Structure 1
Amino acid sequence: MSIHRKRNKTLGLAELVAIALGGMVGGGIFTILGVSVSLIGNLTPIAIIIGGLLASLAAYSYVKLGLYYKDEGATYSFYKKTYPNSPFSASAIGWFVIFGYISTLALYAYTFASYVISSTDFANNIWIRKSIAIAVISLFTLINVWSVNGMGKIEDLMVYTKLVVLTIISIVLMQHGTTNFGTFIDNMVIDAEKSSIFSILIVASITFVAYEGFQLVINAVSEMKNPEKNIPRAIYLAIALAVVIYVVISMGALFAIPTDEIIKNKEYALAAGAGKVLGSLGTNLVILGAVLATSSAISGTVFGSSRQMAVVAEDGFFPNWLSFRKNNIPINAIISMAIMSCVLILIGGLELILEFGSITFLLVSLLMAIANYKIRLKTNSSKTLTSLSIFGLSIGGILILYYEFTHKWEQMLIIISLYILLALGAWLFSKKRSKKLE
């Protein structure tokens, strides 16, 4: 079932975990923190853990399908091979997933730029911010085009450094904050009385966004050592580490920063809180952590999604020139994703595009669970776990759509329009491919 391409097996477990964490621990946790605290206050760490469990359920089907098919096309290829008689469906998923990655890539770069200039006189200069965002995408595009092994080593350094920096900051905030552990627990009890289970589950569904990225491991199947062991190890270990770092970050913020300040400042709350507790050193450390987080997210996303785009192009659902490889690196796909992300940065509206990406990845994860259930005997999957994945992801999808419609219905209408446009593009290419086959 695997694709037979001669590749250098250069990526070990450490690099694969770094790729997954690079895709997950990006700008998401900083943005989600403010939304979560505004809805459920000190119960945020509990929602983050539930979101991690939901991500683990989603990962179960990705791991099983990844081991069975061993195809770097990942999400797209799994669906295409499981439902071989539905070319339009495969094409649509390819389009949705790739453009979901392009939107998150643009957001990571924009967040990177925001933190880089946040303590300078240019903090509010939109064009300097956009210029820096485009520059950082260009940098990691060159790195990915240059060398797979070089990208893996740089990703290792950025990911593991950012985890250390963010953990140290969060622990120091917990120790020096105005709230002690006893008060924190008391506040949790108060928030539990005010918040419903429904609200906690909504936040957990929104938090799922912060775990997208573990799928990028499977995109590297042709360049990894021992995929049978390293795919499950890398994905589950990365999700577990992400849960720990997210919980520590959220508790650090809640211990040191008043909840109204977290809600007001949102993704900059941790930097503001660190500045009050530790002075300029704290602010600079948070900025360093955020810059490393977004940098590794950009690198990991460019690496994994470009390989998926090349596979979709090879099958005729994107222009064929996007499948071109040099030294087994999909150069045209990498450059094209970078260009489209830069266009999105210039146009603006990144918050809207992020919402599109968030909903896309949750719903696509549900489709992967359904596909795995269909061939569960071939993938040697547990019927109970696969059914639980479908149920959990369905509930998560319903809850996030409910939240979007009740809080940002205008954005949802635009997102639906985007889906229609992408579906049209997917349909045109699927028709073109069918004519060629005939």
Structure 2
Amino acid sequence: MVGGGIFTILGISVAMVGVYTPLIILIGGVLACFAAYSYVKLGVYYKDEGATYSFFKKTFPASPFAASLIGWWVIFGYISTLALYAYTFSAYAISGFAFGDSELARKLVAGAVILAFTLINLWSVKGMGKVEDLMVYTKLVILAIISFVLINNGSTSLPVLFQSQTSVNIVSILIAASLTFVAYEGFQLVINAVNEMEEPQRNIPKAIYTAILLAVLIYFVISLGAILAIPFDDIIRNKEYALAAGAEHVLGHWGKELIIAGALLATSSAISGTVFGASRQMAVIADDGYFPSILSHRNQRIPTYAIICMSALAFLLVFAGSLQVILEFGSVTFLLVSLLMAFANFRIRHLTDSSTLVTLLSCAGLLAGTGFILYYEFANQPEQLVFIVAIYVVLTLGSWIYSRLK
């Protein structure tokens, strides 16, 4: 989770709200904390690796369609984030080559990195964990260096940027903040590893809240350094690899290479972690009959076919959509799913020992975030809204068919 999101959302955020980018990252982090509250409470109460799907199924046992629907939605939400991070990885990986702006080249590289981490996850849980640890610790060091260097090479100041900023209304800020929600996606995956975790009662909340706070801090500092050091035009023009494109003029060749290395590590660990956690959730759903039964097959506890299926669908999504479409679909999906989790937690708040006020605030914030994105799509990019709605129609139909078969 930590680090990958900033490389994905920075260019799009600056294009939408300019100097307010660090602010929307903070607002997105607050929204993520509200979402995490219900996940932590339900995760500690149920201790089920099926996570989102299992929580909803157990909270509403009389509705097989509801269980199937949220299962399909959340899995395809994870598939969209796989596609998102793979696309961002490829944009940074080939940014220094003559064919760096080629859509086909980006999509082929994205497919290659998905394949690489599919094979790593099929190899072994322990092997994947060691690779993930190495990438996480290395990227955190690189991200800290990037933050320090960008801020120290700032060519302007916040007062100057605010003076030159064109008018941005509060609705635009809240829309952009809602779009950043997908950058915090990943904390839910902690719960998918509950069967391989020591002391889940203590480690679930510790891991989730620490990850969100670290992500907020890293995203905020890097976005602040970026807007101070890199001209907005450079960030917006090359939004798929904004940090690398702008940093070369500010930090030179080695600065650019360092940022590319950070981006590749950050997106790689996000891909690997998502494949690991979401494939286990997919296997649980398939075992209950809401996905093809072959997806529940495990080889030494590794859900082999679920991993392969998720990776293949992510590759197809990379080829079907642009970076912004994938980002918006992912944000809407995780806002909707988190809203349903908050509602489920509210339903059994006496069992999970949850605060009624915090749970209601979570529901209100997540509902508002979903509404802001849909409003933005309707007003500005109706064709993308049609694409997103079409995906939801297909997912809903598939979930309904499997719930009827069950």
Residues 352-392 of structure 1 show CA distances to partners (whole Å, capped at 9, x for unaligned) of: 23322221111110110000000000011111111111111
8 Å CA contact 1:141–1:334 kept in 2: the answer is yes
Specify whether residues 272 and 204 from structure 1 end up closer, same or farther in structure 2 by C-alpha distance, changes over 3 A only. Answer: same
Query: Where does the alignment leave 5 or more consecutive residues of structure 1 unmatched?
Result: 1-19, 434-438
CA RMSD of aligned residues (A): 1.7
TM-score (norm 1): 0.89
Q: TM (normalized to structure 2)?
A: 0.95
Tell me the equivalent position of 2:330.
357
Q: 1:348 to 1:184 in 2, by over 3 A?
A: closer
1:166 and 2:132 matched: no
1:10 alignment partner in structure 2: none
Q: Which position in structure 2 is the counterpart of 1:416?
A: 389
Corresponding position of 1:146: 123
The yes-or-no answer on 1:51 pairing with 2:28 is yes
Cα distance between partner residues in 2 of 1:69 and 1:384: 22
1:95 alignment partner in structure 2: 72
Superposition deviation, residue 171 in structure 1:
1.6
Q: Does 2:344 match 1:367?
A: no
Provide the residue aligned with 1:11 in structure 2.
none
Question: 2:158 aligns to what?
Answer: 184
Q: Percent identity?
A: 63
Partner of 2:239: 266
Counterpart mapping for 1:179-328 below 5 A:
179=156, 183-188=157-162, 191=165, 194-328=167-301
Per the alignment, in what secondary structure is the counterpart of residue 279 of structure 1? helix
How far off is 1:189 after superposition?
6.8
Offset from partner CA, 1:203-232 (integer Å, 9 cap, x none):
221221211111111111111111111100
| Residue-pair matches, total | 406
Distance 1:186 1:124, change over 3 A: closer
Question: 2:173, 2:321 → 1: CA distance?
Answer: 31
Task: Quote the residue 1:338 is aligned against.
Answer: 311
SS of corresponding position for 2:187: coil
Q: Could you tell which deviates more after superposition, 265-274 or 325-334?
A: 265-274
Conserved 8 A contact 1:253-1:269:
no
Structure 1 range deviating more: 269-278 or 215-224:
269-278
| Corresponding residue for residue 352 of structure 2 | 379
Question: 103, 109, 114: which one pairs with 1:132?
Answer: 109
Superposition deviation, residue 48 in structure 1: 0.8
Change (3 A) 1:260 1:349: closer
C-alpha displacement of 1:198: 2.7
| Greater displacement, 128-137 / 343-352 | 343-352
Cα displacement (A) at 1:306: 0.1
Contact 2:8 2:84 in 1 (8 A): no
Q: Match for 1:37 among 6, 9, 14? A: 14
Q: CA deviation at 1:304?
A: 0.6
Farther-moved stretch of structure 1 (279-288 vs 147-156): 147-156
Partner AA of 1:144 in structure 2 = N
The runs of 5 or more residues in structure 2 that have no matched partner are none
